[in-house]
């Protein structure tokens, strides 16, 4: 098997606050292989953004207590000095943020913002960088890129701003692109365009992609592997087929049951997860999901379940025996249709 | 649910014959002006440009479209938050287009709104109790001494803890805030609730809770909803009938199942094909109509059919010159298109057999 591009081992990110220690990420282990797309799914506050901001070096030991290892191309990113990290960030790992309205600077022309990123990392004249920026805008599907490059962000629509962000993120040909809820603020039609664009560019640039989202519906056709996060931990990991057709964790069942499907034959009631995500200061003992889980039993309240693989690639952190999970999920699906 | 019905709602009762809301030829133009002291009008934003719609008691009408298609403006015109430039709005048999003052307030008691952003639509400096009780104080339907128990009952109804009466909005999560918004809209027991993207700012798991809550309340209080969203799957889930809007006009109007199985307007087809399906195999086999470009400017909308510059099926010169009217299609719904899509244009043949 090939070397993973990114390997995160037992990552913990804890924020000290006046109210107590916020355990945003609590023992995260996963890897991203070269050329694959990994989907990271979870509710607000499940630690999905924080873990990747830590990978990017945007959350540092100044703000949080960080433990564990983040190995990227053989280097532990948590051990290297800040100025070295600055060379990696943007050039080899880059990120697209959720809100294209606020992540572009309103005072600078879009082309200038993209060429700035190029000039920080490469020896290029202003002219060369600008040409490169225009070329990137063309590749992300913006028409008349030379005119657009000299416009300001407010002259762009939401979808175009997100395209400009993608152009900026890919302008240095990174090996890993992290897309944090890239389409949440966008219309459905634009969402489809942007996800297709990310797919196409991943092949063109031969990069790995991480898509962070709260909506399992969005990423079905774009991800090779998915990991479902809850309260700072991975509760299920598997291929797209595993998660969508044979999910093993009750939380994943709840996420799937919450999605409104356009292809449902008649009006069906949704099956959401009851209650709210837990406070990350007082994480419930045992399985963090147990207060919301409909299948809870005594062991769940005491023992923290480990992420155990049921076969080579599919793993879930749940105390229910595998046979029970398969039976219960089959029943749930049957009850729905 | 039968598949032929279109204009009329599916639950056919005698009462359902008279619409709760009837809007005819409604237009809303926003003037564009130039100059600081002497303002000169140089054009109009055609936000809503001739819409007819009827909403029957007890039904849910969905309104979908991309950003900028005029769906929120239409809702605000119906609520009389904007004055219509042209056309009439009838509510419960009464023409409310030009109502003012006390008469308007009387009507507003029966129509309420839930807003998109639960972070911006609640005053951060007031307690939940005072936010929810505001309608009581404005309309004086409940004596002062009864306000607190009334509000707490409402809070319980929408799934909030009544003990949180004195808390402030920032102490609640997004989903709970949206529940506060729902409680406020219910306070006066209105007949119509306009939901403007009520779930698009929420996590999927919380979305589902709110959608279920809205459904329960509809059953309990016999509410009528006008439900606005850009996500067709959400709209289809909650609605009896769905109206698709494009650049200020309704281009297709059908019940949800017909719309999904047999979209006639190419724009509906494109919207449908963009909706993500949580099923990797199905999604991979789905037919895709990818729309080029963005919605054109409503300042100077395209001639003829407004969709023609982006339409994959447009035939010239007809589509560019003739504006299509909403017409009854063979599959039952209303659509405004000269060259409607063939039957089952979006559904994949294998789609029905491989579900789940």
Encode pLDDT of A24-73 as tens digits.
999 999 999 999 999 999 988 889 999 999 999 999 999 999 999 999 99
A236 domain-assigned: no
Domain shared by A128 and A210, yes or no: yes
Determine whether the interchain pair B279/A189 forms a contact, defined as Cβ–Cβ distance below 8 Å: no
The pLDDT score that the predictor gives to residue B4 is 44
> Of B289, B294, B225, whose CA–CA distance to B67 is shortest?
B294
| Count of domains for chain A | 2
Domain shared by A253 and A198, yes or no: no
Domain boundary residue among A223, A258, A284?
A: A223
The pLDDT score that the predictor gives to residue A266 is 63
Q: Which CATH number is B20's domain given? A: 3.40.50.300
Polymer length in residues for chain B: 356
The pLDDT score that the predictor gives to residue A1 is 58
Contact list in B for residue A143 (CB cut-off 8 A) is 293
Determine whether the interchain pair B211/A260 forms a contact, defined as Cβ–Cβ distance below 8 Å: yes
Pull the structure tokens for residue A251: 């939380």
Query: Of A191, A262, A265, which is closest to B272 when you measure between CB atoms?
Result: A262
A278 domain-assigned: yes
Domain shared by A125 and A163, yes or no: yes
Q: Rounded CA gap, B40 and A4, in Å?
A: 64
- Decide: B96 and B90 in contact? Cβ < 8 Å: yes
Task: Look at the pTM and tell me if it is higher than 0.95.
Answer: no
Cross-strand bridge partners of residue A41: A213, A228
Domain shared by A218 and A293, yes or no: no
Pull the structure tokens for residue A331: 């029943």
Domain shared by A124 and A182, yes or no: yes
Determine whether the interchain pair B278/A261 forms a contact, defined as Cβ–Cβ distance below 8 Å: yes
Q: Rounded CA gap, A40 and A210, in Å?
A: 7
A57 domain-assigned: yes
Contact list in A for residue B356 (CB cut-off 8 A) is 333, 336-337
- Decide: B177 and B118 in contact? Cβ < 8 Å: yes
B12's torsion region: left (phi>0), alpha (psi -120 to 50) or beta? beta
Domain shared by A286 and A152, yes or no: no
Domain span including residue B204 = 15-34+42-110+190-351
Determine whether the interchain pair B290/A193 forms a contact, defined as Cβ–Cβ distance below 8 Å: yes
B24 domain-assigned: yes
Residue to test with chain A: of B214, B276, B296, B349, most A Cβ within 10 A: B276
A238 domain-assigned: no
Determine whether the interchain pair A264/B237 forms a contact, defined as Cβ–Cβ distance below 8 Å: yes
> Of B225, B213, B255, whose CA–CA distance to B75 is shortest?
B225
The pLDDT score that the predictor gives to residue B257 is 84
Q: Which segments of chain B have a pLDDT < 70? A: 1-16, 345-356
Pull the structure tokens for residue A42: 């979870």
Q: Which H or E run includes B242?
A: strand B241-246
Determine whether the interchain pair B283/A220 forms a contact, defined as Cβ–Cβ distance below 8 Å: yes
Neighbouring C-beta atoms of residue B319, cutoff 10 Å = 23
B135 domain-assigned: no
Q: Rounded CA gap, B312 and B302, in Å?
A: 16
Alpha helices in B239-299 (DSSP H): 256-261, 266-274, 280-285
What value, to the nearest 5°, has the Cα angle with vertex A22 and ends B177 and A29?
110
A residues 219..238 contacting B (CB < 8 A): 219-221
Domain shared by A185 and A270, yes or no: no
B222 domain-assigned: yes
A20 to chain B, any CB pair closer than 8 A? The answer is: no
> Of B182, B229, B205, B183, whose CA–CA distance to B60 is shortest?
B229
Domain span including residue A306 = 249-336
Determine whether the interchain pair A160/B294 forms a contact, defined as Cβ–Cβ distance below 8 Å: yes
Determine whether the interchain pair B356/A337 forms a contact, defined as Cβ–Cβ distance below 8 Å: yes
Contact list in B for residue A256 (CB cut-off 8 A) is 278
Domain shared by A205 and A56, yes or no: yes
B185 domain-assigned: no
Query: How many Cα atoms are found within 13 Å in the side-chain-facing hemisphere of B236?
Result: 23
A residues 39..78 contacting B (CB < 8 A): 43-44
- Decide: B175 and B210 in contact? Cβ < 8 Å: yes
DSSP code per residue over A45-66: TSSHHHHHHHHTTSS-TTTSEE
Closest alpha carbon within chain A to B216: A269
A232 domain-assigned: no
The pLDDT score that the predictor gives to residue B356 is 34
> Of B224, B253, B252, whose CA–CA distance to B238 is shortest?
B224
Looking at the complex, report in whole angstroms how far the Cα of residue B176 sits from the nearest Cα belonging to chain A. Answer: 9
Pull the structure tokens for residue B280: 């990797």
Q: Rounded CA gap, A97 and A211, in Å?
A: 11
3-state secondary structure A116-130: HHHHHHCCCCHHHHH
A254 to chain B, any CB pair closer than 8 A? The answer is: yes
Cross-strand bridge partners of residue A23: A14
Q: Which H or E run includes B152?
A: helix B144-157
The pLDDT score that the predictor gives to residue B14 is 45
The pLDDT score that the predictor gives to residue A267 is 65
Q: Rounded CA gap, B239 and B255, in Å?
A: 8
The pLDDT score that the predictor gives to residue B352 is 41
Contact list in A for residue B256 (CB cut-off 8 A) is 267
Q: Rounded CA gap, B305 and B298, in Å?
A: 13
Domain shared by A274 and A136, yes or no: no
Q: Rounded CA gap, B78 and B55, in Å?
A: 11
Domain shared by A282 and A184, yes or no: no
A residues 263..322 contacting B (CB < 8 A): 263-267, 269-274, 276
Domain shared by A169 and A309, yes or no: no
Q: Quickly tell me which residue has 């009334």 as its tokens.
A: B150
B290 domain-assigned: yes
What value, to the nearest 5°, has the Cα angle with vertex B105 and ends B104 and B106?
90
* DSSP strand pairing (A20-32 vs A6-17): antiparallel
Polymer length in residues for chain A: 337
Contacts of A186 (CB under 8 A, 6+ apart): A100, A158, A159, A162, A194
Looking at the complex, report in whole angstroms how far the Cα of residue B10 sits from the nearest Cα belonging to chain A. Answer: 13
B80 domain-assigned: yes
Contacts of A141 (CB under 8 A, 6+ apart): A163, A193, A197
Pull the structure tokens for residue A83: 């100025």
- Decide: B255 and B6 in contact? Cβ < 8 Å: yes
> Of A280, A233, A235, A232, whose CA–CA distance to A254 is shortest?
A235
Q: Which CATH number is A71's domain given? A: 3.40.50.300
Determine whether the interchain pair B230/A266 forms a contact, defined as Cβ–Cβ distance below 8 Å: no
Q: Rounded CA gap, A115 and B63, in Å?
A: 41
Contact list in A for residue B355 (CB cut-off 8 A) is 263, 337
Domain shared by A218 and A269, yes or no: no
Q: Which segments of chain A have a pLDDT < 70? A: 1, 265-267, 336-337
* DSSP state at residue A89: B
What value, to the nearest 5°, has the Cα angle with vertex B354 and ends B353 and B356?
120
> Of B53, B22, B3, whose CA–CA distance to B243 is shortest?
B53
Query: Of A255, A276, A337, which is closest to B204 when you measure between CB atoms?
Result: A255
| Count of domains for chain B | 1
- Decide: A176 and A143 in contact? Cβ < 8 Å: no
Q: Rounded CA gap, B293 and B284, in Å?
A: 23
B75 domain-assigned: yes
B86 domain-assigned: yes
Pull the structure tokens for residue A193: 């365009």
Q: What are phi and psi of B81, to 5 degrees?
A: -80, -25
A242 domain-assigned: no
Q: Rounded CA gap, A195 and A141, in Å?
A: 13
Signed CA dihedral, B1, B3, B9, B14: sign only: negative
Helix A158-170 to helix A126-139 angle, to the nearest 10 degrees? 120
Determine whether the interchain pair A217/B208 forms a contact, defined as Cβ–Cβ distance below 8 Å: no
């Amino acid at each position: 098997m090939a070397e993973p591009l990114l390997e995160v081992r037992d990552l913990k990110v804890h924020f000290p606050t006046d109210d107590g220690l916020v355990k945003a990420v609590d023992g995260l282990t996963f890897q991203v292989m070269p050329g694959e797309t990994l989907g990271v799914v979870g509710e607000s506050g499940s630690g999905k953004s924080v873990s990747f901001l830590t990978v990017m070096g945007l959350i540092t030991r100044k703000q949080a207590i960080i433990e564990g290892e983040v190995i990227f191309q053989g280097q532990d990113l948590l051990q290297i000095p800040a100025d070295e990290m600055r060379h990696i960030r943007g050039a080899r790992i880059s990120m697209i943020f959720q809100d294209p309205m606020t992540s572009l600077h309103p005072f600078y022309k879009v082309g200038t913002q993209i060429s700035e990123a190029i000039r920080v990392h490469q020896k290029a004249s202003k002219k060369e960088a600008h040409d490169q920026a225009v070329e990137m805008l063309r590749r992300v599907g913006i028409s008349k890129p030379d005119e657009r490059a000299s416009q300001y962000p407010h002259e762009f629509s939401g979808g175009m701003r997100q395209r400009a962000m993608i152009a900026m993120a890919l302008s240095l040909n990174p090996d890993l692109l992290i897309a944090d809820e890239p389409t949440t603020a966008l219309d459905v039609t634009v969402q489809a365009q942007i996800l297709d664009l990310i797919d196409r560019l991943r092949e063109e640039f031969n990069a790995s992609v991480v898509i962070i989202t709260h909506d399992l519906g969005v990423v079905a056709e774009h991800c090779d592997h998915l990991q479902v996060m809850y309260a700072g931990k991975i509760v299920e990991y598997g291929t797209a087929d595993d998660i969508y057709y044979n999910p093993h964790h009750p939380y994943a069942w709840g996420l799937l049951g919450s999605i409104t499907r356009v292809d449902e034959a008649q009006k069906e009631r949704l099956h959401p997860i009851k209650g709210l995500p837990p406070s990350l200061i007082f994480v419930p003992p045992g399985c963090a999901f147990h207060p919301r889980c409909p299948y809870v039993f005594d062991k769940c309240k005491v023992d923290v379940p480990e992420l155990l693989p049921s076969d080579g690639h599919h793993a879930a952190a749940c105390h229910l025996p595998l046979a029970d999970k398969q039976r219960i999920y089959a029943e749930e699906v049957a009850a729905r249709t | 649910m039968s598949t032929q019905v279109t204009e009329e709602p599916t639950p056919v009762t005698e009462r359902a014959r008279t619409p709760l809301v009837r809007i005819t030829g409604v237009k809303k133009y926003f003037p564009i002006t130039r100059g600081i002291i002497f303002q000169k009008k140089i054009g109009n934003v055609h936000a809503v440009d001739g819409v007819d719609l009827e909403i029957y008691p007890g039904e849910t009408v969905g309104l979908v479209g991309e950003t900028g298609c005029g769906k929120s403006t239409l809702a605000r015109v119906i609520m009389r938050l904007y004055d219509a430039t042209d056309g009439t709005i009838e509510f419960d048999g009464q023409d409310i287009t030009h109502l003012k003052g006390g008469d308007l307030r009387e009507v507003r008691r029966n129509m309420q709104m839930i807003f998109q952003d639960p972070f911006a639509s609640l005053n951060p400096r007031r307690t939940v109790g005072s936010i929810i009780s505001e309608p009581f104080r404005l309309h004086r339907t409940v004596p002062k001494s009864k306000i607190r128990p009334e509000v707490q009952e409402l809070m319980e109804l929408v799934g909030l803890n009544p003990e949180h009466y004195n808390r402030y909005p920032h102490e609640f999560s997004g989903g709970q805030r949206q529940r506060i918004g729902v409680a406020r809209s219910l306070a006066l027991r209105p007949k119509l609730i306009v939901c403007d993207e009520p779930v698009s700012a929420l996590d999927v798991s919380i979305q589902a809770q709110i959608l279920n809550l809205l459904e329960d309340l509809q059953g309990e209080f016999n509410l009528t909803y006008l439900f606005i969203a850009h996500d067709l799957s959400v709209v289809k889930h909650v609605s009896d009938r769905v109206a698709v809007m494009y650049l200020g006009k309704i281009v297709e109007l059908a019940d949800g199942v017909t719309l999904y199985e047999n979209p006639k307007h190419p724009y509906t087809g494109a919207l449908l094909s963009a909706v993500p399906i949580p099923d990797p195999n199905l999604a991979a086999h789905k037919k895709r109509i990818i729309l080029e470009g963005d919605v054109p400017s409503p300042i100077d909308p395209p001639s003829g059919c407004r969709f023609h510059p982006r339409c994959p099926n447009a035939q010239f010169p007809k589509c560019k010159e003739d504006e299509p009217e909403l017409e009854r299609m063979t599959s039952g719904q209303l659509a405004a298109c000269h060259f409607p899509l063939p039957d089952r244009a979006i559904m994949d043949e294998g789609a029905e057999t491989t579900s789940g």
